Amino acid sequence: MRIIKKGKVDKSRCVACGACVKACPIGAVTVWKGRHAVIDENLCIGCGKCENVCPAGSIEIVAREVRQSDAQTLV
């Protein structure tokens, strides 16, 4: 097993300001239809930059365990 970190958005708290989009170094975050941020789990590297800039506190970096074979495709 391996631990990976990914961003998660609480859509009910997101104000769709776009700060997270600008902070993401690899473009894993978008704002969907001006409503809330969406993080592409396949691109997210779990760096926490989006979480740090979110004024609404709607983004959290979460860790989870995955099987080694699955971790290769998620990193």
Element (H, E) at 53: helix 49-53
**Domains (range + CATH), the chain:** 2-74 (3.30.70.20)
| pLDDT tens track for 13-26 | 999 999 999 999 99
| Percent of the chain residues topping a pLDDT of 70 | 91
| pLDDT tens track for 31-52 | 999 999 999 999 999 999 999 9
Q: How far apart are CA 69 and CA 15, in angstroms?
A: 36
pTM as predicted: 0.84
* 73 pLDDT higher than 70: no
